[in-house]
Structures are given as C-alpha cells and as structure tokens.
Amino acid sequence: MNMARLMLRRGFNVAEGVLGQVFPPAWNPMLNLGALGFFFYWIITVSGIYIYIFFDTGVLNAYASIEYMTHEQWYLAGIMRSFHRYASDALILVMMLHLLREFARDRYRGVRWFSWVTGVPIMVMVFVAGISGYWLVWDKLAQYIAIVSTEWLDMLPIFGEPIARNFLSPDALESRFFTLMIFMHIAIPLIALVILWVHLQRVAKPRINPPRGLAISVFAALIALSLVHPALSQAPADLAVVPGKVGLDWFYLPLFPALETLPGSLTWGMSACLLAIMIAMPWLPPLKRARPAAVDLANCNGCARCFHDCPYNAISMVARSDGTAFEREPAVNPDLCVSCGLCAGACPTSMPFRRLSELSPGIDLPDRTMAQLRDLTETAARNLTGTERIMVFGCDTGPDLAEVSSKSVGVVPLVCIGQLPPAFIDYVLSRNLADGVVLTGCRENSCNARCGIEWTNSRLAGERDPHLRARVPRDLLRTAWVGATGGRQLHHALQALVRELKDADVDVRPAPAVKCPPTACEAVDA
Amino acid sequence: MRRYLRYTGQFAFFLLIAAFIGYFSNQPVYQQTPDGMAQIKLSFAHGAARKVDCRKLSSKEIARLPANERRPNTCARERIPVHIQLMLDGELLYDAQLQATGLSQDGPARTYRKLIVPAGPHTIVARLRDTKRGSGFDYEAERQVTLKPFQNLAIDFKADSGGFQFR
Ligand code: HEM
Ligand code: SF4
Ligand code: SF4
C-alpha cells in the first residue's frame, strides 16, 4: 500500500507541476478535481432535464425520439445530449483522479475515513447511473448492456426466472425493464447527490465550485467537442441480431467484456473484494495519528479565531466552563481533528516573544507544540553564520528541507505552514535570529490541510487574524509554494533572497538585537 | 510572450482532454462475436415429472386428514431432472441433465445457454426428456436454418404450446 501510494504521489506531483507551468495555481485542473466533479454534475442535471422533455419513455419509440433530438433539433437537444454524455465521461475522469489523488496524498485514513468511505457508494452510483443511461438509448450498445448486465445479475442465485430471458428474442421484449431503468437513471443520481452532501460534512467550506475562468474554459471545451463530435446512437437494438460489434464507452463500461467472458463466481467475487477493500482502506493499516489539538483554558480568551480557521469543522465554541468572565471556549472534537495545527497558528496567545510565562497558547498540538517550535527556531538560528542568514519555515508535505539546510540557511519543520503564527516571523527578524525568512509548503491551492496556505497568505497581507505586524520589513520575507517536488524552485527563491540581501541598503534590516517593544510583550504577558 | 505560451498550453491541454473523452466515449469498437459467426441462445424453464408418481389416497386415509386438507391424491414434490440435447449438423452441441430448482427440488429446471456457431445452413435437432422413461425423448424438433452472420436464433421450450419454439 505504501509503495503504491508513494509512486502515485510522485505521478501526481509531476502532473501538477506540469499543469502548474501553464495554469495559474487557482485554475490548475488537477487541484480542482472535486469542484470539477460538482461542475459536471450540474451540467449533467441541466442537460438531462432538457433531453428528458423530448424523450419517449416507451422501449419501442425511445430510439426514434433520441434520433429526433440528435438530427432534427441538433442545435439544442443534440448539443444537450452531447453535453449529457461527455460531462458524464468527464465526471468519471475527474472522480477517479480525485479518488486516486486523495489516496496518493494519504488523505483517506485517520479521521478522514469519513470522506473516503462515503465516497465509495458515490462512485458505485455514478457508474450505475451512467450504465442505466446508455440503456435508455435502446440501440445496439443498450442491447449489449442489457444482455450483459442481466446475465451478470443472473449469475447470483437470487432471481428465480433468469432476467436475461427478457431479451431472448424480439417478441420477449417488454417495457417493464425499460421503465425500471428510466426510474433508476433518475433516482440514483439524486441519491448520490444526497450522499455527496454527506461526503462534505466534515470538510469546512469545501470548494465545490471551480474558479470561473476554469469553469468557462471547461464549458467551452465541452461545446467544441459536442459540435465537432456529437454524441450519436448506434444502430437500433434488434434482439434477432447479436450486438456483434459495439462501440463501448470505455469510461463506464471497461469491465463489461470481462463480465461477459469470465466466470460469474470470479467477477462477483472480485467485485465484492474490491468494494470491501475500498471500504476498509482507511484502516489498512490505520494511520498512526498524532494527538488532536488540545485547549488550555488558562491561555484562552474565547476569541474564536481557532474556530474560524479550522479546515475540518473540528472546533465548536461552547459555554465557558472555567468560571472566567469570557463567554465561550473552544472544544475540539478529536474524531474530526486531523492535527494540522492551523488553530494554534491562529491563536493570539501563540506569542514567541513571551518569556515571563511559558509559551503555551490557548490551543496547541500536544505532539508539535509552539514551545518546541520556538526551541527549534532558536536552535536553528544559533547555528547560522554569515551576513545573509535565512530561516526557512516549511511543512512536512512541502519540499525536503534537509536539501536546503546549510551554514547560512536554518530550517524549521511544521505540520502545516498554517501552524506558524506570523509573530514568529517578527520574532526571527526583530530578534536578529536571521536576516531573511522564507515560508514554504505545498503548491498554492493544494494545501494538504486544505487552508494552510490561504490563511498564511491572508495573515501576511493583514486580511486575516492574526496579522503580520506592519513593522516587519516585507522585503526580507518570501513565500515559496512549490510542493514536495519544488526543491529546485525553493533553492532559487533562497538564492534570490540572498542576492537581494547582499545588494540591499543596510538600513532595510532592523537594527540588530532590537528588544521586543514593551507594548507587544505586555499584551500577552500581562 | 510567456503569457501567450501559457494560453497555448492551456488550449492544448483542453484540446487533448476533449479528444481523449470524445475518442474513448465510443472507441475502440469491441467485437463481441467473431465475424462470420452466429449465436444460438437456448433458454427455457420447464418442470419435469415428479420423482414419485401421485397416488390415490384410500378413503380411510382421507378421513384421517384434517378437514381442510382432505384431497384425493398425494404427491411427493421432488422432480426428476430434465434431459436436454441440442445437435448441430449431427454433432452434439449441448447435452445436459438440468436439475430441478427450489429447496425441495420441486421447481422447474432452467437453462440459459449461448452457443456461438458458424453462420450458414445448418440442421438443428433439439430433444428433451421430462419423464422417467429410460431411453428416448418426449419432445424432439428438427429445423433447417440458414443463419446469417451475427444472427441470434432463440430456442425456447414451452410444453403447453407443443414443445420447442425457434425464434
Ligand atoms: C462525484 C464524485 C465526487 C465529488 C463531486 C467529490 C467532491 C469532493 C469535494 C468537493 C471535496 C472537498 C475538497 C476540498 O474542498 O478540499 C472532497 C473531499 C474528499 N473526497 Fe470526494 N468527491 C467525489 C467522490 C469521491 C470518491 C469516489 C472518493 C473516494 C472513495 C472521495 C474521497 C474524498 C476524500 C477522502 C476527501 C477528503 C479530503 C480531505 O479530507 O482533505 N471522493 N470530495
Ligand atoms: S489541528 Fe487542525 S483539524 Fe485539529 S482542531 Fe486544529 S485546525 Fe482543526
Ligand atoms: S484562538 Fe486561542 S484564544 Fe482564541 S478561542 Fe481559540 S484557543 Fe482561545
């Protein structure tokens, strides 16, 4: 499992990197797979409703009604039909990539089991919905699907009369199966939509809409494809003739030839195993998880920043329990917490300047505490030499920090860059622990903890609490959102900063060993 | 310049994806039945004779039964297997003893078979035995057919419509 995950992760890193060369980070399709899935879902829904208006629901006339749409009303119903088909194919593509990517980035174990396990029935339903949709065309392909799927179902000893006998010969054909398929084709996507809603219950502010530019481009590509290569029916179904040659939709039907030719015990056994493995995967083996965030009420003023910044809805604000004058306090649900540390990065009491009392914020990761983070920073600073000393803060899922570590570059690892309170940057520069600071991590828009980069960028820009103080010289600070494979780009960013530090006027740097201004320290030490 | 390169890259990406989806949505064609072949689909459900014949109950036996279960005959429910044979041009294509279905083997015997045969003229003989006779068959049908490539010839069996049906 580990090997497969690492290899896949490498593949995704390369693909994301290549696409990152031509797409701005927000638009990178590889970083918008879930949102694109929703986008295709809406396209399928709207086009489906439109073509249903013209669809004849009887098995004998269905084919002709679809031919009418494709050839007579090609300019609207025909395009809608193409949309319906191609968006469904694209949905499979993005759904399978989304699934593989969550697997590759190990975001399916631990408390994230919930999104994974609820994803499995969605996947099955998307396939069943597509297969039932092809049935409705009642052409050669539909005939092939009807026969193979009923024969496959007949391999289970649950039906008395083989249901494939419904398709024995032309005079055996009845509408009842067809009606059932129409019902399924409408009901299953609706049920899947409900499960999709459940799928996102543990994700705070999920990104379900792709950025507008990407949506428009995808839409344009769909229109172009529908005009150049409209979706067509194959020859009408005829039970007196076997569907000897069929054009298969390989997105939905790649397994049909196998279902037809392999023994039922094998295909049913393998399907059951595959499904069981997929459902059990979050525990194969379970994640050795870090302890969840812990609240220290003695240092908490109930400001709710942690609550607003948690990307997994793991924090709720509840009535204060310690008798202090504050109204509320945060409560962490350990079943939802992924131990990303974004809450600790948001807490106003995560102040490295604190010396009088222990550095103990209102909320912290027991396994990677703020106090440890400050110790790591100070230790790294002590070993730095030269006049262009740089401190790199980087997250575990970003580029390999050991590769850039040197006499003049100190490195401090974090779970996620969002764990870093901006005060640490101020601390490093104002205490002259280094001459420049670089923050690095995942690719923009692809943060492993979902929101770490976004929160960090807006904290630096002063748009989100806690702000980076105005006195911090911005030209001594760089961010490098380059991802795990971005070692070289990080290196370039460091070199560029070193060059600038060399060229810079001496006075852009803070005077050495500035003491923390009394106001800043008092605020937290009082 | 770099900007135009990026636009070109984006365009190429969408072109590639659209082509990929457009192509694999119905290509490559899958050949389910080899060229020049046709299919005989033999399928039916038929209940053979009971293993033990029904027996008339004596009036004493009838009297011993509860009032609402009194009947003239008693029958064991178990059925014997159906013996089916399909011959193509004198060669045995399919020969099976089909067990009765149901927990107590009282249901009909069932089969659903797809047999791929070369297209062209053939003599098909279908035979079925559903009684306890030791040899021979209770039903037999012979047909001269010319199967077109990819033709699907269905052979059903319905005892109350006289036996085998070729469709
Ligand atoms: C139509 C199909 C699907 C759609 C539209 C969809 C959509 C989404 C969206 C929008 C997110 C939130 C991403 C974010 O904002 O960071 C998400 C998360 C997730 N999805 Fe799906 N999904 C689908 C199917 C699946 C399937 C089949 C699986 C796996 C079996 C899966 C596994 C996950 C996991 C594990 C997460 C959580 C990621 C995290 O915790 O950071 N999804 N999905
Ligand atoms: S560690 Fe992350 S998931 Fe856990 S409570 Fe804090 S922000 Fe939420
Ligand atoms: S951010 Fe810190 S001070 Fe504010 S509510 Fe959370 S733990 Fe308390």
The predicted pLDDT at position B122 comes to 85
The predicted pLDDT at position A302 comes to 92
Residue B37 included in any domain: yes
**Who lines ligand 2 at CB under 6 A?**
A 292-293, 310, 312, 314-315, 332, 337-343
Q: Which domain holds residue B112?
A: 33-49+80-166
Does the pLDDT at position B158 exceed 70? Answer: yes
CA distance A239 to chain B (A): 7
Residue B91 included in any domain: yes
Does the pLDDT at position A357 exceed 70? Answer: no
The predicted pLDDT at position A479 comes to 93
The predicted pLDDT at position B58 comes to 82
A207 CB under 6 A from ligand 1?
yes
Judge whether A20 is closer than 8 Å to chain B, CB to CB: no
Residues from chain B that touch A228, judged by Cβ atoms under 8 A, are: 22
Average pLDDT over residues B2-22: 90
Average pLDDT over residues A519-524: 34
Q: Are residues B136 and B151 in the same domain?
A: yes
Share of chain B above pLDDT 90, in %: 10
The predicted pLDDT at position B93 comes to 82
Domain CATH number, residue A74 = 1.20.810.10
Q: Are residues A275 and A379 in the same domain?
A: no
Average pLDDT over residues A457-479: 91
Q: Are residues A73 and A184 in the same domain?
A: yes
Which residue do the tokens 């029935």 mark?
Answer: A121
Mutate to test the pocket of ligand 2, among A308, A309, A338, A364 (most ligand atoms within 8 A of CB): A338
Residue A219 included in any domain: yes
CA distance A422 to chain B (A): 33
φ, ψ dihedrals at A170, nearest 5°: -55, -40
Mean model confidence pLDDT for chain B: 83
Q: Which domain holds residue A277?
A: 33-282
pLDDT digits (tens, 9 = 90+) for A286-341: 888 889 999 999 999 999 999 999 999 899 999 999 888 899 999 999 988 999 99
Domain count, chain A: 2
- Report whether A439 contacts A480 (CB < 8 A): yes
Q: Are residues B5 and B45 in the same domain?
A: no
Judge whether A246 is closer than 8 Å to chain B, CB to CB: yes
A39 CB under 6 A from ligand 1?
no
Q: Are residues B38 and B118 in the same domain?
A: yes
Q: Are residues B17 and B94 in the same domain?
A: no
Residue B156 included in any domain: yes
Domain CATH number, residue B147 = 2.60.40
Which residue do the tokens 């529908």 mark?
Answer: A226
Average pLDDT over residues A376-388: 89
Alpha carbon distances (Å) from A318 to A183, A291, A304, A328: 46, 21, 10, 5
Q: Are residues A220 and A252 in the same domain?
A: yes
Does the pLDDT at position A521 exceed 50? Answer: no
Partner-chain residue, chosen from A160, A220, A245, that has the shortest CB–CB distance to B31: A245
Q: Are residues B128 and B89 in the same domain?
A: yes
Judge whether A21 is closer than 8 Å to chain B, CB to CB: yes
Collapsed DSSP state (helix, strand, coil) of residue B83: strand
Q: Which ligand is nearest to the CA of A121?
A: 1
Residue B97 included in any domain: yes
The predicted pLDDT at position A517 comes to 41
* B141 vs A408, higher pLDDT: A408
> Whose CA is closest to A242, among B5, B32, B17, B36?
B32
Partner-chain residue, chosen from B18, B110, B156, that has the shortest CB–CB distance to A221: B18
Partner-chain residue, chosen from B18, B30, B152, that has the shortest CB–CB distance to A241: B152
Q: Are residues B129 and B156 in the same domain?
A: yes
Q: Are residues A502 and A410 in the same domain?
A: yes
Q: Are residues B18 and B43 in the same domain?
A: no
Residue A2 included in any domain: no
Judge: B101–A249 Cβ closer than 8 Å, yes or no.
no
Q: Is A29 exposed, middle or buried (0-12, 13-18, 19+ CB in 10 A)?
A: buried
Helices (H), A232-369: 256-261, 264-280, 305-309, 342-346
pTM of the predicted protein model: 0.85
Domain count, chain B: 2
Residue B131 included in any domain: yes
Q: Which ligand is nearest to the CA of A366?
A: 2
φ, ψ dihedrals at B159, nearest 5°: -60, -40
> Whose CA is closest to B106, among B77, B130, B82?
B77
Taking the CA of residue A394 as centre, how many other CA atoms within 13 Å lie in the half-sphere pointing to its CB? 32
Judge whether A164 is closer than 8 Å to chain B, CB to CB: yes
